[in-house]
Every structure is written in C-alpha cells, then in structure tokens.
Structure 1
Amino acid sequence: MDTRRLHAFVKIVDIGSLTRAAAILHIAQPALSQQIVALETHFGRQLLVRSKRGVIPTEAGKALYRHAQVMLRQLDQAQIDIENTGTMIAGQVNVGLAPLSTATTLALPLLKAVRERYPGIVLQINENIGGVISEMIMTGKMDLAFIYDPGTIRGVKFEPILTEDLFLVAPKPLLESGNVERGEIAAEDVARLDLVLPTKIHTVRQLVDLTFRRVGVDARVIAEIESVPTIARAVWAGLGATILPWSSANAIASGNDDVAVQRITSPSMQMKVSLCTSDQWPLSEPAQVVNDLLADIAHAYAAEHQADGLKPMGRKERKRKAA
C-alpha cells in the first residue's frame, strides 16, 4: 500500500473535488484519478462517486476514510517518535473542548502544563459542539476531547470527570428582588423569562428543554446563539437571560452590577463532563500524557470550585468507570 494514495484519497474526500485536490497536491488530475483507481482495485470496491457537483465517498469509501485518517496520523507520530528516540515526548495532539462549559476554562492551564512538562508537544485546541467533536474523534481527526457526556455513542468512549450545575444569568431588572437576594431561582420561574439559549443540537439546551418538560412548562426562547460573547452582549443589553455553567456565567456577570447569577433549583440542572477518546484506536504517547494532564487539571479545578456547582468524581470511581 502506497501511503501517498491514502493521503490523496483523504484530501479528495475532505475537499469533495478531484480538480481542487489535484491543484492542492500539485498532481495532474489524470494521475490523481489513477491513484484512486489503484486503491479501488486494491480493495475491490468503488470508493468514490463522481458527478458534476464533485465527489462523495461510498460506504466503503467512508470506512477507508476513517481508517486512513488514523493510519496517516500514526505514521506522522511514528516519524516524530523515531526522530526523538531517547530524548523527549514530542508530537502534535488535537484536543476538543465543549463551548459553554467549564472545559474552555481549562484551556490555558492545560497549555501551561504541557509547555512546562512536555515542550515537544504541540497542542491544537478546537472548540465545537460535542457531536461534531465526537465525529472528529471517530474519524481520527482529533485525539481527545473534554465535552458534555451525551451517553453511549458507537466509536467513542467517555470517562466521566466532573459534574457541573447550570445557572441563570440575567439582567437584574428581569428578576424579582427576592430572587436576587436569595441567589437562587426555581426552574419554573426561569421558564417565564425571555431566554437566549444555544441551539437544540447543544447538550446544554437539551438538558434545559428536558428539565422544563419535567416541570411542565414551556421556555420563552427569543434567540438561539452558540457564541458566548454574543450571548453575553445580549444579556448586557437587557434583551434576555441565559443558562450556563458557573465558569461562563461568572465571566458574563463579572464586573457588571446589573447582571445577576442565580443557581437554578427545583429541580437543579446538572451536566456531566467527560474525557472522550476513540474506542477503536489507542492514544499516541503524546496524546496519552495530555489526556492524563487534562484529567488531573479538571479534577483539581472541580475540587477547588465545589461551592460554584462543580463536583469532581473520586479518583477511584473515575478509574473504575474508565476501565
């Protein structure tokens, strides 16, 4: 198997065009087509469907794409490991972090820890919706992630690290004075407010909607926004309230006396945050040390901020569930 063919195949699938892929790879299009024919002959299956709109992988092509992503990454890592034999751990590690969660707060501590202990590791940090990140891990585009745990997903495994409560972040004029003084608010009262929430594909939104259904109320959603800075500006402008974990909620309310952060009760809204990795492919040595560092940093952060609605899992329990 010529790995150049695998690289060309992955590039074609990513771009969706033989012509554009040939230009990027600096290969004549007929030669690139011959490489794909050679792959299809090798596997005995059609891998790409060609049309005027471009190319898309067949089911066999999708399977090869997943494996090729992992194999090419492993080859790159093998080259780095060989070059650094007997010296230090080195390589590139792609880490996903869920937006609207405590995970993003850990990005800087993780960067600092990796830089201090493993200067040969280059981190790539990607913030995206959990579903997108899970797919990237399944296809080998990402090594590991710290995201909200959606439950069982084929192709990935989750190691629960902590849980975090969700809080209401609201302009004080929208709240009754009793709620502001008490520092907490019932879920039923939250549903009566104009809310700016992430879209329904986001795990936070799914928990919010589920909680409201259990209480028997409908949310008054006036806008759906994925960007924390944009949500913050909407709250600051008095357009509505939002629901976020403490780290994001505190960042929005910090230094703004007109914004209140209220713990949601009756019932509370609680999210599980987990480390996500592939259940098919082992982590490279650099990815494994980053995985362990992130777990330790997250656990310590949660232990320090239990008063803010974070709850770390005990190390014994965490290791047992990861097994």
Structure 2
Amino acid sequence: MNLKQISYFIKIAELRSFTLAANALYVSQPALSRQMSQLEDEIGTALFIRSDKGLKLTEAGVLLRRRAPAILSDVAQLRNDLQTAYSQAPAGVLSVGIGMSLRDILTVPVIAGFQKVYPNVALDILESVTGPLVEDIKSGNIDCALVFELDPSAQVIAEPFVKERLFLVGPPDASFRGRASMNANEIFDNALISTKADNPIRKKIETIAQGLCKEPKIAFETNAVSTMVSCVVLGGYYSVLPYSSICKAVQEGRVAAVPVEDLTLDWTFVYSKSFGLSLAAKVFRDFLFTQAEGTISSGLWPFTEALFTQGLVSQE
C-alpha cells in the first residue's frame, strides 16, 4: 500500500466512478484499475462492488474511505515535522501549479530568483487553468498552486494572494487608449475574445451582463492567454483580462488597455489539506509573496492589491 494508491482510492470513492476519477486525476483508466487491483491484493479483500447501477464500496472500502484522509494528513505532517526539525535547508523536487496569466509578471522572475536562493530545490512548474490545477492539488500530483478565485474546502486550503483589476484590452489604436478607466457596461460594445464558460473571468462578465440586461458579443472562446493577446494585436477583437496577462504587450505598445471600474479578480495560493506544505513549499510561498509585494510596490503591477500576510514560515 502506498500514498498514491490511497489518494487514487479517495478520488474513486468520492466520484463513485473509475472513469470520472481517471479523468480528474489525469491518468488512464487501465492504470487506475491496475493500482486499485494491487491495493486490493495487498489488503486481501475487495474494496468496490461493481454493478449495472454503478460503483459501491464494500465494508472494507467504507472503512478505508473513513480513515484514508487521516493517513495522508499524518504522513504529510510527519514529513513536514522531520524537514523542519532536521533539514539544514529545503531540498528536493517542488511541484508548483501557476495560472498562465502570471507568466511574465511573476512566474519567470520567481523561478529565476528562487533557484538562486534555494539551489537544492528543483522546481517543477505546471502552467494551467484553475480547474485542473485544483484537481492536481487534491490528488497530490502537485504541492501548491496559484489559481483564480477559490474558496477553502474540505480538501483544499486557500490563502488570499492578490486582488487585481481587470482591463478591457484592444488593438493599439483603440478609441479608449489613454483613458484612466472605463465603466463596466462599455465592454459589451465590443466583439470579445473570451475565456471559456467555466473560467472565473467569463463568469464575472456574464454576471455583469445579466445585471445590465446586456448580451456579451463573444467572437470565440479560448483559455490560451497568448492566443487571446495575439488576436487582439491583429485588430478587430477585444478581451477582458487581468494586467498580469498583458503586461508585456502593454509595455511594448502592442495593445491598448484600460482598467474597468469595480471589476476585479482575486488570486489564491492553494494546497492540499491532507498533504500540507513541505519546508520547500513554505519557503517558496514566502519567496513568492515577497516577490509579488515588490512588484506591486514598484508600480510594475498596477491596480493590484496584496491580500497576503508576510512571515508565514516563521508563524508555523
């Protein structure tokens, strides 16, 4: 029995489906079934009852489901205690998920700076969108992540990171170029390249549209920030994005951007409640927060407010 098998079992028990669990865990269904067969062989009894009506847990499965989260939590706490007590410096592989929008303004500077200060920590960076990153946190595939707005849950601890204003982004010669701000209802006068329906930015746009009895003009959808910016640069399209995702294009004069009044987006730092944070993850979190604070105070990340508390490692 190993921690990966236990983590996989929890996800199957939660979703009551090997297919759904495999999709959520980003593993193949045969590989997932093989892991569970090995687990059942080691335990010496079946954990699942398969029928036409779906998947159920046996008595042994119910018992394991009840105790498995505590097992993962205890192992994570033991690891953290040992690292804190006996490690001279953080070391090992640290898997971090980061929203794609943060690449230029935060991800690249953080990677470069962190590796200089902590050369014994090998960063494994995964850039993705909120949904998949949160599932990776729950399954233990990554150690921590920065994602769009997310509330704490039974499985995930979510710490406030920053709040940033959303901008209407258009071609360099857009009529709003040079304006200090824009009312939210003005964004609906343009053909928008939008994030997909499950993205927090899209949800905010649709909520505002409903309140104003307006219908967003969605030209096409994509969660690929680089594609959105490239299409805006070519002209004819507009988009609503955080400054973090367009900072380079704005600085190079490839797009025009204006902050939208009362339209903000919160970023959160998340990690698994069961696995906790390793020493490497804790120092990475503090380094990340320090870098963000410096970027904001220097004016390089305008219309952004820090929501975090410094000195977190020393408080734990």
TM-fit CA distance, 1:170: 0.5
Larger radius of gyration: 1
Other-structure match for 1:284: 278
Mapped partners of 2:3, 2:134: distance in 1? 27
* Paired residues of 1:167 and 1:264 also in contact (CA < 8 A): yes
2:217 maps to 1:204: no
* Paired residues of 1:169 and 1:253 also in contact (CA < 8 A): no
Give the total of aligned pairs.
294
Mapped partners of 2:289, 2:120: distance in 1? 20
TM-fit CA distance, 1:184: 2.9
TM-fit CA distance, 1:69: 11
Superposed CA offset, 1:19-52 (max 9, x none): 9969xxxxxxxxx9565333362xxx5248599x
Which consecutive residues of structure 1, in runs of 5 or more, have no partner in the other structure?
23-31
The code of the aligned residue for 1:264 comes to: V
The code of the aligned residue for 1:138 comes to: K
Mapped partners of 1:244, 1:5: distance in 2? 37
* Paired residues of 1:167 and 1:263 also in contact (CA < 8 A): yes
Distance 1:21 1:310, change over 3 A: same
Q: Secondary structure of the equivalent of 2:186?
A: helix
Q: Secondary structure of the equivalent of 1:184?
A: coil
Q: Secondary structure of the equivalent of 1:263?
A: strand
Sequence identity percentage = 18
TM-fit CA distance, 1:250: 2.7
Give TM-score scaled by structure 2 length: 0.75
* Paired residues of 2:72 and 2:274 also in contact (CA < 8 A): no
Matches within 5 A, 1:214-253: 214-253=211-250
TM-fit CA distance, 1:226: 1.0
Q: Secondary structure of the equivalent of 1:191?
A: helix
Distance 1:50 1:305, change over 3 A: farther
Distance 1:48 1:283, change over 3 A: farther
Other-structure match for 1:92: 93
Which consecutive residues of structure 2, in runs of 5 or more, have no partner in the other structure?
10-17
TM-fit CA distance, 1:216: 3.1
Matches within 5 A, 1:1-323: 2-3=1-2, 6=5, 14-17=27-30, 33=37, 36-39=40-43, 41=45, 45-47=46-48, 60=61, 63=65, 87-100=88-101, 102=102, 105-172=105-172, 175-176=174-175, 179-256=176-253, 259-265=255-261, 268-305=262-299, 308-313=302-307, 315=309
* Paired residues of 2:94 and 2:143 also in contact (CA < 8 A): yes
Other-structure match for 2:15: none
TM-fit CA distance, 1:166: 0.6
Mapped partners of 1:245, 1:112: distance in 2? 23
Structure 1 residues 205-214 or 222-231, which shifts more? 205-214
* Paired residues of 1:130 and 1:147 also in contact (CA < 8 A): yes
Give TM-score scaled by structure 1 length: 0.74
Distance 1:250 1:116, change over 3 A: closer
The code of the aligned residue for 2:162 comes to: L
Mapped partners of 2:71, 2:230: distance in 1? 39
* Paired residues of 2:69 and 2:274 also in contact (CA < 8 A): no
* Paired residues of 2:130 and 2:147 also in contact (CA < 8 A): yes
Other-structure match for 1:28: none
The code of the aligned residue for 2:298 comes to: E
Other-structure match for 1:25: none
* Paired residues of 2:83 and 2:278 also in contact (CA < 8 A): no
The code of the aligned residue for 2:139 comes to: T
Q: Secondary structure of the equivalent of 1:251?
A: helix
* Paired residues of 1:196 and 1:222 also in contact (CA < 8 A): yes
Superposition RMSD in Å: 4.1
Mapped partners of 2:159, 2:119: distance in 1? 26
* Paired residues of 1:69 and 1:140 also in contact (CA < 8 A): no
Q: Secondary structure of the equivalent of 2:296?
A: helix
Superposed CA offset, 1:49-73 (max 9, x none): 599xxxx996959959x859958x9
Superposed CA offset, 1:76-127 (max 9, x none): x79x969xx6653211111111123x46632222222321222111111111
TM-fit CA distance, 1:269: 0.9
* Paired residues of 1:211 and 1:269 also in contact (CA < 8 A): no
Q: Secondary structure of the equivalent of 1:185?
A: coil
Mapped partners of 2:298, 2:169: distance in 1? 22
Q: Secondary structure of the equivalent of 2:182?
A: strand
Distance 1:207 1:153, change over 3 A: farther
* Paired residues of 1:9 and 1:36 also in contact (CA < 8 A): no
* Paired residues of 1:184 and 1:262 also in contact (CA < 8 A): yes
TM-fit CA distance, 1:270: 0.6
